[in-house]
Amino acid sequence: MSENFASRIPILIASSLKPTRDSRAWEKLGISLRETNKYELNIIGFSTKKEEKIESVKFYSSFASPGSKLSRILSLVRFTKTLFQVRPKILICCTYEYLSIASFFKNRMGYKLVYDVQENYAANLNLNPTLSSSQKSRAAKLIRKMEDVKGIDLYFFAERCYQNEMPEKSPFLILENKFKGQIREKSNLVFDQKDKFSFLISGTITPAFGIFDGIIWFKEILKKYPKSSLHIIGHIPLQSFQCELEKLTENYPQIKVQTSPIPIDHQAIIKAYSSVDFCLLPYQNHSEIWNKMPTKLFEAAALGVPVLISPNPKWEDFLKDFSGGCFINFSKPELAISQFDQAIQQTFFTANPSPSILWNSQEADFLSAIEKLLL
């Protein structure tokens, strides 16, 4: 066993604000690498506790107290220390904050550098209502400068649209945030005989994702279906939005709010799907969102939960083959009951979703790309 461990190729997957057991870095990239039994896997990310030991995997904490500038600076120090400790053959950066250090030490250590582009970070600044135009402009310039480093051997794109939005990032491999697991087969779901419904809003809780619109829509639904419930679970990065959310949901026992300033364990979110009728995706019409494939679409499809989602041709094309959801105009709450009543006349999951919604449909391409970097 020790000889086998010594022969494994060290790989470091590094992030700062994402948790060590992140749904992408760990559950998808990390576990896929570990299961080959070829690699010594090292992961650095946000952690509030000491991680349990796993064979051939080592976890490192970027920091334990997010929110301060000092913590962000210390995370760079910890990343550099981990880099020298691990001395990886491949370094996968999941955050632009580490790219400058990664580029600087690349030739000295001789590793291959991969940038996992999980977001169009510069464009996403437009979704932050707390920043002024000048602040967004300065931050975007800084992000682009930090991403424009030398020595990146390969880019992973979490969205297909990034190849058009960021053509300078090449070569690339598209690795969408598809569901890690198996499809839970559901067939012919009908709701027209029910008089109460359970809804879920999950993931990152921000204004641009239409959370307020979803809550106001749900309040309208309560007028006809007062026994219904809404579960909101996820990460709120903006403290001001947390206060607004509390005000909007107070005095509504039908709404359960389970939020945190740090990312919530992904398995807790997956578990929440099992007890609801519908997943709400009330996205606002922003160009930064329009061309994306939300992770929640893959999750809901695989877990057999129909979605009520804002109109979008791309999402409609995804859902139509298996009747995975209905489109709701969340910006017009006066239409909430009539649109919902129409939606529940539909039969959902008239077919099983395609296996292409699963992570393992692109896992072989990922592992092949890693192997080619080592040649």
| Residue 320, φ and ψ in degrees, nearest 5 | -65, -30
> CA 26 to CA 45: how far, in whole Å?
10
What pLDDT, on a 0 to 100 scale, did the predictor assign at position 62? 85
- Model confidence at 67, pLDDT cuts 50, 70, 90, reads low
- Model confidence at 3, pLDDT cuts 50, 70, 90, reads very low
Of 29-33, 50-54, 229-233, 340-344, which range is least confident?
50-54
CB 281 within 8 A of CB 310: yes
Averaged confidence pLDDT in the chain? 93
> CA 183 to CA 188: how far, in whole Å?
15
pTM for the full predicted model: 0.94
> CA 97 to CA 222: how far, in whole Å?
45
**pLDDT above 90: residue 53:** no
Q: What digits encode the pLDDT tens for the residues 217-239?
A: 999 999 999 999 999 999 998 88
What pLDDT, on a 0 to 100 scale, did the predictor assign at position 1? 40
Residue 348, CA distances (Å) to 137, 170, 188, 192, 372 in order: 44, 40, 5, 11, 42
> CA 88 to CA 82: how far, in whole Å?
10
Burial class from Cβ neighbours inside 10 Å (0-12, 13-18, 19+) for residue 290 reads middle
Which of 238 and 215 is assigned the larger pLDDT? Answer: 215
Strands, sheet with 229-235, edge to edge from the N-terminal-most edge strand: 255-260, 229-235, 198-204, 278-281, 307-309, 325-327
The CB density around residue 319, as the number of other CB atoms within 10 Å, is 21
DSSP 150-184: TTEEEEEESSTTHHHH-TTS-SEEE----BSS---
**pLDDT above 90: residue 56:** no
pLDDT cut 90: percent of the chain above it: 83
309-327: average pLDDT: 96
- Which amino acid is located at 103 in the chain? S
Task: Kindly list the structural domains of the chain, giving each domain's residue range(s) and its CATH number in brackets, ordered by start.
Answer: 2-118+150-178+359-373 (3.40.50.2000), 198-357 (3.40.50.2000)
> CA 79 to CA 63: how far, in whole Å?
10
> CA 106 to CA 88: how far, in whole Å?
10
Strand residue runs (E) in the chain: 9-19, 39-46, 57-61, 90-93, 112-117, 152-157, 172-174, 198-204, 229-235, 255-260, 278-281, 307-309, 325-327
| Residue 204, φ and ψ in degrees, nearest 5 | -75, 125
Q: What digits encode the pLDDT tens for the residues 141-180?
A: 999 999 999 999 999 999 999 999 999 999 999 999 999 9
**Residue 314: enclosing H or E segment and its boundaries?**
helix 313-320
Query: Two tokens at 144?
Result: 């682009």
Residue with tokens 């692109």: 362
What pLDDT, on a 0 to 100 scale, did the predictor assign at position 370? 98
What pLDDT, on a 0 to 100 scale, did the predictor assign at position 6? 61
Q: What digits encode the pLDDT tens for the residues 96-145?
A: 999 999 999 999 999 999 999 999 999 999 998 889 999 999 999 999 99
Nearest-CA neighbor of 197 among 174, 213, 217? 217
DSSP 197-241: -EEEEEEE--GGGTHHHHHHHHHHHHHH-TT-EEEEEEE---HHH
- Tally of residues, the chain: 375
> CA 297 to CA 277: how far, in whole Å?
15
Query: Two tokens at 71?
Result: 């913590």
| Residue 351, φ and ψ in degrees, nearest 5 | -145, 165
Per DSSP, the three-state class of 89 is: coil
Burial annotation 80-115 (CB, 10 A radius, 16+ → b, else e): eebbeebebbbbbbbbbbbbebbbebbeeeebbbbb
Query: Two tokens at 301?
Result: 């499809």
